[in-house]
Structure 1
């Protein structure tokens, strides 16, 4: 008993140490994210891709050397991850430098610049927090349904997260190519609408493919995740809402990207928060009605499809960013040369 407690305490100590090591890279990670966004905004995806490839190689080699050959364990993996993140950030900054910018300069923003950043960041913060909070709320309600249900939910939600990431490039594409079409020098709203149509069609196709593949794996090969038949039965109960929610995810990403490109930040933040509130009510009703895990997942379906239809209605509206000729809404300012 004493030995087990000692080993457990030592294990927790290693985990805490690894978190502290990874925390050292957070300033670099933030800088890297900004540099990556700048590159994508300039339609350069090769720079971030090269940085990601090199960082992945550094991380993999570091894990092998530090964990296997030198025996540093979890702490070694943490150091390898931290170094890879620093390397990635450096390469992304160098990508900007090659375009004529000086990514290593440091300047204190003016008050007006701080207000501009807050005006952009605050709505995005509300949107992202609403999405993350809803996912956390779904998991919270699932934990009250028993051990087997939680195990099934963890398998399905992790699988859902892995599949839904595939729609992110559609959002990035909209954010990279649409701004110049919506409010740039070569403004062309008809081309912006054509681009959105293409992204939505690609998103719908990708959503169906991901839904079929993502549903087929736990349906036909559930033993990959667990041999427990009770957990497998719980997994199979949510396959229908899993498919419905996943199929619309890429399309929703493309619409999110279009709204962000058009700087319709107030709408996207308020609509996402509204969907979160509606989803929370559905989760409470599902729990009180005894609908179990399928009730939680149908609430997720409502959250995803509500976001899709609200975003689509906004973009197709005559007052939306793709139809309105009013340029004052964008509050465009001349950018300082870096």
Structure 2
């Protein structure tokens, strides 16, 4: 920023950081005995095996990107002050929301052994999930309070513009509601990923995005402004939570069903 390169400099810095991060990960793999620099062409069966796992995950990630892009699109159409306030709150939301990701990583690390492992124990898996959701609820409340208190009491940290501050204050409640449920949601989705219920994750996320595509134009057309966009985000987050919770508590879900063969990834022989 101080060198005067502007947005192009930010893009170059991002690119360099990605390259450095990729090299460090490859180097770490090499130290563990893998030859990460070897390039080989996968067989058709191997590609199918990868796509069976990666496809639903890509759909999930793209669905999130599409929804957040829609939020920015509608906020941009509301004027300069509105989009400025939206960008501030969205960055705060993203910064706080990512703090819940360790719960998802914990579920993906420990759940597979409890669901599919030699020492399989669904009661222990359910107990772990209960702990993760409880921690997520407490963390969500804490993050929601922090994320809304700063722009509420110290808005001049972000901008001295009174109109932007006024727009910031309009979305404090929906920001809190959306953040409060985020850590619990990612812990549930991490459990679904660990249980390889990938098809449900991709379908549910696609449904949530479809909900956003329908609701956002209606809220915008009826003059709800930036607050309407953020309440759509609240609906998106809570819909993800309830769908994942319902799936995991279902008698046919991965934490209760004794027949897990339908969730297992198909074994494909390498040609």
Matched with 1:64 is none
2:160 aligns to what SS in structure 1? coil
2:125 paired residue among 192, 212, 218: 192
* Matched positions, count: 267
| 8 A contact 1:276–1:303 mirrored in 2 | yes
| 8 A contact 2:107–2:187 mirrored in 1 | yes
| 8 A contact 1:156–1:235 mirrored in 2 | yes
Query: Residues 193 and 17 of structure 1: is their aligned pair in 2 closer, same or farther, counting only changes over 3 Å?
Result: closer
- Post-superposition Cα deviations, 1:167-215, rounded to whole Å, max 9, x if no partner, equal 1111111111111111122211111111111110110010000000111
| Mapped partners of 2:162, 2:235: distance in 1 | 29
CA displacement at 1:110 relative to structure 2: 2.4
- Post-superposition Cα deviations, 1:147-167, rounded to whole Å, max 9, x if no partner, equal 110110010001100000001
| 8 A contact 1:93–1:104 mirrored in 2 | no
| Mapped partners of 1:18, 1:309: distance in 2 | 37
| 8 A contact 2:75–2:82 mirrored in 1 | yes
Matched with 1:204 is 137
2:191 paired residue among 248, 258, 263: 258
Greater shift after overlay, 157-166 or 88-97?
88-97
Query: Residues 217 and 95 of structure 1: is their aligned pair in 2 closer, same or farther, counting only changes over 3 Å?
Result: farther
1:239 paired residue among 157, 163, 172: 172
CA displacement at 1:108 relative to structure 2: 3.2
- Post-superposition Cα deviations, 1:293-329, rounded to whole Å, max 9, x if no partner, equal 0000000000000000000000000000111011321
Matched with 2:25 is 89
| Mapped partners of 2:19, 2:43: distance in 1 | 32
Matched with 2:108 is 175
Matched with 1:15 is 8
> 1:100-249 to 2 correspondence within 5 Å?
101-249=34-182
Query: Residues 83 and 213 of structure 1: is their aligned pair in 2 closer, same or farther, counting only changes over 3 Å?
Result: same
Query: Residues 269 and 15 of structure 1: is their aligned pair in 2 closer, same or farther, counting only changes over 3 Å?
Result: same
CA displacement at 1:85 relative to structure 2: 2.2
| Mapped partners of 1:227, 1:316: distance in 2 | 48
Q: Higher Cα Rg: structure 1 or 2? A: 1
1:330 aligns to what SS in structure 2? coil
2:254 aligns to what SS in structure 1? coil
Greater shift after overlay, 182-191 or 127-136?
182-191
| 8 A contact 2:254–2:260 mirrored in 1 | no
RMSD over equivalenced CA pairs, Å = 2.3
| Mapped partners of 2:269, 2:28: distance in 1 | 21
Q: 5+ residue gaps in structure 2?
A: none
2:223 aligns to what SS in structure 1? coil
Query: Residues 128 and 225 of structure 1: is their aligned pair in 2 closer, same or farther, counting only changes over 3 Å?
Result: same
